[in-house]
Amino acid sequence: MEQLFYSLLVMLLGVLSCVFYFVGSNWLLLLIYPVKHVSNVKMAQNIRRAAAIRPWLFLGPALFFLILYLVYPVFDSVYLSLHGRNGEEFVGLANYEWLFQDNEFLESLTNNILWLLIVPALSTFFGLIIAALTDRIRWGDFAKSLIFMPMAISFIGASIIWKFVYDYRAEGSDQIGLLNALVEYFGGTPQAWITLPFWNDIFLMVILIWIQTGFAMVILSAALRGIPEETVEAAVLDGANGFQIFFKILIPQIWTSIAVVWTTITILVLKVFDIVLAMTNGQWDTQVLANMMFDWMFRGGGDFGRGAAIAVIIMIAVIPVMIWNVRQANAQMEGR
Protein backbone atom coordinates (compact mmCIF):
# COMPACT_ATOMS: atom_id res chain seq x y z
CA MET A 1 0.00 0.00 0.00
CA GLU A 2 2.85 2.34 0.84
CA GLN A 3 4.47 1.70 -2.57
CA LEU A 4 1.18 2.48 -4.31
CA PHE A 5 0.87 5.73 -2.36
CA TYR A 6 4.40 6.85 -3.30
CA SER A 7 3.85 5.87 -6.94
CA LEU A 8 0.68 7.96 -7.14
CA LEU A 9 2.44 10.82 -5.33
CA VAL A 10 5.33 10.79 -7.81
CA MET A 11 2.90 10.74 -10.76
CA LEU A 12 0.94 13.67 -9.29
CA LEU A 13 4.09 15.69 -8.59
CA GLY A 14 5.33 14.99 -12.12
CA VAL A 15 2.12 16.25 -13.71
CA LEU A 16 1.98 19.31 -11.46
CA SER A 17 5.64 20.09 -12.22
CA CYS A 18 4.94 20.00 -15.97
CA VAL A 19 1.91 22.27 -15.57
CA PHE A 20 3.90 24.68 -13.38
CA TYR A 21 6.77 24.79 -15.87
CA PHE A 22 4.61 25.44 -18.93
CA VAL A 23 2.37 28.01 -17.24
CA GLY A 24 5.32 29.67 -15.49
CA SER A 25 7.52 29.84 -18.60
CA ASN A 26 4.66 31.31 -20.64
CA TRP A 27 4.00 33.91 -17.90
CA LEU A 28 7.71 34.82 -17.80
CA LEU A 29 7.79 35.17 -21.58
CA LEU A 30 4.82 37.54 -21.52
CA LEU A 31 6.50 39.49 -18.74
CA ILE A 32 9.64 39.96 -20.84
CA TYR A 33 7.72 40.66 -24.06
CA PRO A 34 4.47 42.33 -22.97
CA VAL A 35 1.60 42.84 -25.37
CA LYS A 36 -0.39 45.26 -23.20
CA HIS A 37 0.24 48.93 -22.56
CA VAL A 38 2.75 49.17 -25.42
CA SER A 39 2.60 50.71 -28.87
CA ASN A 40 1.24 48.71 -31.79
CA VAL A 41 4.69 48.44 -33.37
CA LYS A 42 6.24 47.22 -30.10
CA MET A 43 3.37 44.80 -29.54
CA ALA A 44 3.86 43.24 -33.00
CA GLN A 45 7.60 42.88 -32.35
CA ASN A 46 6.98 41.27 -28.95
CA ILE A 47 4.42 38.84 -30.38
CA ARG A 48 6.89 37.74 -33.09
CA ARG A 49 9.74 37.34 -30.59
CA ALA A 50 7.59 35.46 -28.10
CA ALA A 51 6.27 33.18 -30.85
CA ALA A 52 9.86 32.40 -31.90
CA ILE A 53 11.01 31.62 -28.34
CA ARG A 54 7.92 29.79 -26.98
CA PRO A 55 8.45 26.48 -28.89
CA TRP A 56 12.00 26.24 -27.55
CA LEU A 57 10.78 26.85 -24.01
CA PHE A 58 8.30 24.00 -24.37
CA LEU A 59 10.83 21.74 -26.09
CA GLY A 60 13.59 22.65 -23.64
CA PRO A 61 12.97 19.94 -20.99
CA ALA A 62 12.59 17.24 -23.63
CA LEU A 63 15.79 18.29 -25.40
CA PHE A 64 17.65 18.47 -22.08
CA PHE A 65 16.66 14.95 -21.05
CA LEU A 66 17.24 13.66 -24.59
CA ILE A 67 20.82 14.94 -24.47
CA LEU A 68 21.32 13.75 -20.89
CA TYR A 69 19.92 10.23 -21.29
CA LEU A 70 20.52 9.48 -24.98
CA VAL A 71 23.24 11.59 -26.60
CA TYR A 72 25.65 11.72 -23.66
CA PRO A 73 25.49 7.93 -22.97
CA VAL A 74 26.34 7.24 -26.64
CA PHE A 75 29.60 9.20 -26.49
CA ASP A 76 30.37 7.91 -23.00
CA SER A 77 29.84 4.30 -24.13
CA VAL A 78 32.22 4.77 -27.07
CA TYR A 79 34.77 6.35 -24.70
CA LEU A 80 34.47 3.51 -22.16
CA SER A 81 34.73 0.85 -24.88
CA LEU A 82 38.23 2.13 -25.68
CA HIS A 83 39.33 1.85 -22.05
CA GLY A 84 39.97 -0.93 -19.59
CA ARG A 85 38.02 -2.52 -16.76
CA ASN A 86 37.69 0.66 -14.67
CA GLY A 87 37.32 3.01 -17.62
CA GLU A 88 40.67 4.66 -16.90
CA GLU A 89 43.37 2.83 -18.85
CA PHE A 90 43.27 3.41 -22.63
CA VAL A 91 43.34 0.06 -24.47
CA GLY A 92 42.28 1.10 -27.97
CA LEU A 93 40.40 -1.62 -29.87
CA ALA A 94 41.42 -4.42 -27.50
CA ASN A 95 37.87 -4.83 -26.15
CA TYR A 96 36.50 -5.27 -29.68
CA GLU A 97 39.24 -7.79 -30.52
CA TRP A 98 38.29 -9.73 -27.39
CA LEU A 99 34.61 -9.67 -28.37
CA PHE A 100 35.05 -11.44 -31.68
CA GLN A 101 37.26 -14.08 -30.08
CA ASP A 102 34.90 -14.76 -27.17
CA ASN A 103 32.65 -17.82 -27.51
CA GLU A 104 29.89 -16.31 -25.36
CA PHE A 105 29.72 -13.23 -27.60
CA LEU A 106 29.54 -15.38 -30.73
CA GLU A 107 26.78 -17.43 -29.11
CA SER A 108 24.91 -14.24 -28.19
CA LEU A 109 25.33 -12.87 -31.71
CA THR A 110 24.00 -16.11 -33.20
CA ASN A 111 21.00 -16.07 -30.87
CA ASN A 112 20.24 -12.44 -31.68
CA ILE A 113 20.31 -13.25 -35.39
CA LEU A 114 17.91 -16.14 -34.74
CA TRP A 115 15.59 -13.79 -32.84
CA LEU A 116 15.80 -11.32 -35.73
CA LEU A 117 14.81 -13.94 -38.28
CA ILE A 118 11.86 -15.34 -36.34
CA VAL A 119 10.25 -12.77 -34.02
CA PRO A 120 9.61 -9.82 -36.41
CA ALA A 121 8.42 -12.16 -39.16
CA LEU A 122 5.95 -14.12 -37.03
CA SER A 123 4.74 -11.10 -35.04
CA THR A 124 4.00 -9.19 -38.26
CA PHE A 125 2.46 -12.26 -39.94
CA PHE A 126 0.13 -13.07 -37.04
CA GLY A 127 -0.74 -9.39 -36.58
CA LEU A 128 -1.65 -9.07 -40.27
CA ILE A 129 -3.74 -12.23 -40.35
CA ILE A 130 -5.60 -11.31 -37.15
CA ALA A 131 -6.17 -7.74 -38.40
CA ALA A 132 -7.69 -9.06 -41.62
CA LEU A 133 -9.87 -11.67 -39.90
CA THR A 134 -11.16 -9.55 -37.02
CA ASP A 135 -12.39 -6.89 -39.43
CA ARG A 136 -14.78 -9.50 -40.85
CA ILE A 137 -16.49 -10.64 -37.64
CA ARG A 138 -19.06 -8.92 -35.45
CA TRP A 139 -17.07 -9.25 -32.22
CA GLY A 140 -13.79 -8.25 -33.89
CA ASP A 141 -13.18 -5.23 -31.64
CA PHE A 142 -13.49 -7.40 -28.54
CA ALA A 143 -11.06 -9.94 -30.02
CA LYS A 144 -8.60 -7.16 -30.84
CA SER A 145 -8.77 -5.93 -27.25
CA LEU A 146 -7.86 -9.37 -25.94
CA ILE A 147 -5.00 -9.78 -28.40
CA PHE A 148 -3.67 -6.28 -27.70
CA MET A 149 -3.81 -6.80 -23.92
CA PRO A 150 -0.29 -8.35 -23.59
CA MET A 151 1.13 -5.02 -24.82
CA ALA A 152 0.08 -3.55 -21.46
CA ILE A 153 2.19 -6.12 -19.58
CA SER A 154 5.86 -5.51 -18.87
CA PHE A 155 8.36 -7.97 -20.33
CA ILE A 156 9.18 -9.19 -16.82
CA GLY A 157 5.49 -9.67 -16.06
CA ALA A 158 4.97 -11.57 -19.32
CA SER A 159 8.00 -13.74 -18.55
CA ILE A 160 6.57 -14.67 -15.14
CA ILE A 161 3.27 -15.63 -16.78
CA TRP A 162 5.06 -17.85 -19.29
CA LYS A 163 7.25 -19.36 -16.58
CA PHE A 164 4.08 -20.98 -15.28
CA VAL A 165 3.37 -22.24 -18.79
CA TYR A 166 6.83 -23.83 -19.13
CA ASP A 167 7.22 -24.88 -15.48
CA TYR A 168 8.69 -28.36 -14.97
CA ARG A 169 8.43 -30.72 -12.01
CA ALA A 170 10.13 -34.09 -11.74
CA GLU A 171 8.29 -36.96 -13.40
CA GLY A 172 5.69 -38.37 -11.04
CA SER A 173 5.03 -34.98 -9.40
CA ASP A 174 2.00 -32.85 -10.17
CA GLN A 175 2.79 -30.64 -13.13
CA ILE A 176 1.66 -27.05 -12.54
CA GLY A 177 3.11 -25.88 -15.85
CA LEU A 178 0.36 -25.71 -18.49
CA LEU A 179 2.52 -27.17 -21.27
CA ASN A 180 3.76 -30.12 -19.23
CA ALA A 181 0.28 -30.74 -17.85
CA LEU A 182 -1.00 -31.06 -21.42
CA VAL A 183 1.92 -33.28 -22.42
CA GLU A 184 1.32 -35.56 -19.44
CA TYR A 185 -2.44 -35.64 -20.08
CA PHE A 186 -1.84 -36.95 -23.61
CA GLY A 187 0.62 -39.58 -22.35
CA GLY A 188 3.88 -37.75 -23.05
CA THR A 189 6.91 -37.19 -20.82
CA PRO A 190 7.23 -33.78 -19.11
CA GLN A 191 10.28 -31.75 -20.16
CA ALA A 192 12.29 -28.91 -18.70
CA TRP A 193 11.49 -26.86 -21.79
CA ILE A 194 13.72 -23.87 -21.17
CA THR A 195 16.79 -26.08 -20.81
CA LEU A 196 16.45 -27.79 -24.20
CA PRO A 197 19.16 -26.48 -26.59
CA PHE A 198 17.85 -24.50 -29.57
CA TRP A 199 14.21 -25.08 -28.60
CA ASN A 200 14.56 -23.02 -25.46
CA ASP A 201 15.36 -20.00 -27.66
CA ILE A 202 12.14 -20.64 -29.59
CA PHE A 203 10.15 -20.86 -26.35
CA LEU A 204 11.55 -17.50 -25.24
CA MET A 205 10.73 -15.97 -28.63
CA VAL A 206 7.12 -17.08 -28.23
CA ILE A 207 6.80 -14.65 -25.31
CA LEU A 208 7.88 -11.65 -27.39
CA ILE A 209 5.73 -12.77 -30.33
CA TRP A 210 2.77 -13.01 -27.94
CA ILE A 211 3.40 -9.43 -26.79
CA GLN A 212 4.16 -7.83 -30.16
CA THR A 213 1.40 -9.46 -32.20
CA GLY A 214 -1.08 -7.01 -30.67
CA PHE A 215 1.08 -4.06 -31.71
CA ALA A 216 1.34 -5.33 -35.30
CA MET A 217 -2.39 -6.05 -35.38
CA VAL A 218 -3.39 -2.51 -34.36
CA ILE A 219 -1.12 -0.77 -36.89
CA LEU A 220 -1.98 -3.08 -39.77
CA SER A 221 -5.70 -3.04 -38.98
CA ALA A 222 -5.66 0.75 -39.33
CA ALA A 223 -3.73 0.43 -42.60
CA LEU A 224 -6.24 -2.10 -43.98
CA ARG A 225 -9.16 0.16 -43.12
CA GLY A 226 -7.47 2.98 -45.00
CA ILE A 227 -7.54 1.07 -48.30
CA PRO A 228 -10.15 2.51 -50.71
CA GLU A 229 -13.13 0.19 -51.08
CA GLU A 230 -13.17 0.88 -54.83
CA THR A 231 -10.00 -1.15 -55.40
CA VAL A 232 -11.45 -4.18 -53.64
CA GLU A 233 -14.78 -3.86 -55.45
CA ALA A 234 -12.98 -3.60 -58.80
CA ALA A 235 -11.02 -6.77 -58.01
CA VAL A 236 -14.24 -8.61 -57.10
CA LEU A 237 -15.85 -7.52 -60.37
CA ASP A 238 -12.78 -8.81 -62.24
CA GLY A 239 -13.35 -12.23 -60.65
CA ALA A 240 -10.56 -12.22 -58.05
CA ASN A 241 -10.99 -14.66 -55.15
CA GLY A 242 -10.29 -13.93 -51.48
CA PHE A 243 -6.64 -14.98 -51.56
CA GLN A 244 -5.93 -12.96 -54.71
CA ILE A 245 -7.57 -9.87 -53.20
CA PHE A 246 -5.60 -10.26 -49.99
CA PHE A 247 -2.16 -10.91 -51.50
CA LYS A 248 -2.38 -8.92 -54.75
CA ILE A 249 -4.63 -5.99 -53.79
CA LEU A 250 -4.45 -5.42 -50.04
CA ILE A 251 -0.85 -6.36 -49.20
CA PRO A 252 0.79 -4.12 -51.86
CA GLN A 253 -1.22 -1.12 -50.65
CA ILE A 254 -0.13 -1.51 -47.01
CA TRP A 255 3.41 -2.70 -47.71
CA THR A 256 4.94 0.45 -46.20
CA SER A 257 3.00 -0.10 -42.96
CA ILE A 258 4.12 -3.73 -42.87
CA ALA A 259 7.74 -2.63 -43.32
CA VAL A 260 7.46 -0.07 -40.51
CA VAL A 261 5.96 -2.64 -38.14
CA TRP A 262 8.62 -5.19 -39.10
CA THR A 263 11.52 -2.80 -38.53
CA THR A 264 10.06 -1.44 -35.27
CA ILE A 265 9.90 -4.97 -33.87
CA THR A 266 13.38 -5.62 -35.27
CA ILE A 267 14.79 -2.71 -33.25
CA LEU A 268 13.07 -4.09 -30.15
CA VAL A 269 14.50 -7.56 -30.77
CA LEU A 270 18.04 -6.21 -31.08
CA LYS A 271 17.67 -4.83 -27.56
CA VAL A 272 15.84 -7.83 -26.04
CA PHE A 273 16.95 -8.28 -22.45
CA ASP A 274 14.17 -8.61 -19.87
CA ILE A 275 12.75 -11.90 -21.14
CA VAL A 276 16.10 -13.68 -21.22
CA LEU A 277 17.07 -12.27 -17.82
CA ALA A 278 13.84 -13.40 -16.16
CA MET A 279 13.53 -16.80 -17.85
CA THR A 280 17.06 -18.23 -18.11
CA ASN A 281 19.55 -15.44 -17.30
CA GLY A 282 21.42 -16.49 -20.43
CA GLN A 283 21.92 -20.11 -19.32
CA TRP A 284 21.50 -23.19 -21.52
CA ASP A 285 22.78 -21.41 -24.66
CA THR A 286 20.14 -18.66 -24.57
CA GLN A 287 22.48 -15.68 -24.03
CA VAL A 288 21.80 -12.51 -26.02
CA LEU A 289 23.86 -9.36 -26.49
CA ALA A 290 21.93 -7.09 -24.11
CA ASN A 291 22.03 -9.61 -21.25
CA MET A 292 25.73 -10.25 -21.87
CA MET A 293 26.36 -6.49 -21.74
CA PHE A 294 24.50 -6.32 -18.41
CA ASP A 295 26.57 -9.20 -17.03
CA TRP A 296 29.89 -7.60 -17.96
CA MET A 297 28.90 -4.10 -16.93
CA PHE A 298 27.14 -4.67 -13.61
CA ARG A 299 27.61 -8.25 -12.48
CA GLY A 300 30.46 -10.69 -11.99
CA GLY A 301 32.40 -9.33 -14.92
CA GLY A 302 32.48 -5.78 -13.60
CA ASP A 303 34.32 -4.66 -16.73
CA PHE A 304 33.08 -1.29 -17.98
CA GLY A 305 35.23 -1.46 -21.12
CA ARG A 306 33.92 -4.80 -22.35
CA GLY A 307 30.34 -4.02 -21.34
CA ALA A 308 30.48 -0.72 -23.23
CA ALA A 309 31.96 -2.44 -26.29
CA ILE A 310 28.95 -4.79 -26.41
CA ALA A 311 26.63 -1.76 -26.04
CA VAL A 312 28.33 -0.06 -28.99
CA ILE A 313 27.87 -3.21 -31.12
CA ILE A 314 24.14 -3.22 -30.31
CA MET A 315 23.91 0.50 -31.14
CA ILE A 316 25.68 0.02 -34.48
CA ALA A 317 23.25 -2.79 -35.33
CA VAL A 318 20.19 -0.69 -34.39
CA ILE A 319 21.10 2.59 -36.16
CA PRO A 320 20.69 1.46 -39.84
CA VAL A 321 17.33 -0.17 -39.09
CA MET A 322 16.17 2.93 -37.22
CA ILE A 323 17.19 5.27 -40.04
CA TRP A 324 15.38 3.12 -42.60
CA ASN A 325 12.32 2.97 -40.34
CA VAL A 326 12.19 6.76 -39.97
CA ARG A 327 12.51 7.23 -43.73
CA GLN A 328 9.71 4.76 -44.38
CA ALA A 329 7.47 6.47 -41.83
CA ASN A 330 8.18 9.88 -43.38
CA ALA A 331 7.47 8.54 -46.87
CA GLN A 332 4.18 7.09 -45.66
CA MET A 333 3.14 10.38 -44.05
CA GLU A 334 3.93 12.25 -47.27
CA GLY A 335 1.79 9.78 -49.21
CA ARG A 336 4.60 8.59 -51.45
Report the CATH number that the domain containing residue 173 is assigned in CATH: 1.10.3720.10
Clarify whether residues 264 and 142 are in a common domain: yes
Domain boundary among 29, 55, 81: 81
Clarify whether residues 176 and 45 are in a common domain: no
The model's pLDDT over 125-134, given as tens digits with 9 standing for 90+, comes to: 999 988 888 8
Answer yes or no: is 86 within a domain: no
Clarify whether residues 72 and 158 are in a common domain: no
Clarify whether residues 23 and 157 are in a common domain: no
Answer yes or no: is 295 within a domain: yes
Rg (CA), the chain: 26
Predicted TM-score (pTM) of the model is 0.80
Clarify whether residues 321 and 243 are in a common domain: yes
Clarify whether residues 262 and 198 are in a common domain: yes
Answer yes or no: is 197 within a domain: yes
Is residue 278 pLDDT above 60, yes or no?
A: yes
Domain boundary among 14, 47, 81: 81
The model's pLDDT over 161-205, given as tens digits with 9 standing for 90+, comes to: 999 899 888 777 777 888 888 888 888 888 888 888 889 999 999
39: three-class secondary structure by DSSP: coil
Residues 6+ apart with CB under 8 A from 37: none
Beta strands in the chain (DSSP E): none
pLDDT (average), residues 258-269: 88
Clarify whether residues 17 and 130 are in a common domain: no
Answer yes or no: is 178 within a domain: yes
Give the CA dihedral 36, 39, 45, 51, nearest 10 degrees: 20
pLDDT (average), residues 112-129: 92
Clarify whether residues 191 and 322 are in a common domain: yes
For residue 85, the model assigns a pLDDT of 83
Clarify whether residues 150 and 58 are in a common domain: no
The model's pLDDT over 7-42, given as tens digits with 9 standing for 90+, comes to: 888 889 988 988 898 888 888 888 888 877 778 778
Answer yes or no: is 123 within a domain: yes
What region does 87 belong to: left with phi over 0, alpha with psi -120 to 50, or beta? left
Answer yes or no: is 89 within a domain: no
Total structural domains within the chain: 2
Clarify whether residues 182 and 314 are in a common domain: yes
Domain boundary among 19, 49, 81: 81
> Do residues 158 and 207 lie in contact, with contact meaning Cβ atoms separated by under 8 Å?
yes
Q: Report which of residues 45 and 241 the model is more confident about.
A: 45
pLDDT (average), residues 146-170: 88
90: three-class secondary structure by DSSP: strand
Supply angle C-alpha 273, 277, 283, rounded to 5. Answer: 115
Domain ranges, residue 120: 95-335
Closest to 266 measured CA to CA, from 115, 128, 147, 153: 115
Answer yes or no: is 172 within a domain: yes
For residue 335, the model assigns a pLDDT of 59
pLDDT (average), residues 310-316: 89
Clarify whether residues 69 and 166 are in a common domain: no
Clarify whether residues 324 and 281 are in a common domain: yes
Average pLDDT of the chain, as a whole number = 85
Answer yes or no: is 282 within a domain: yes
Q: Report which of residues 313 and 326 the model is more confident about.
A: 313
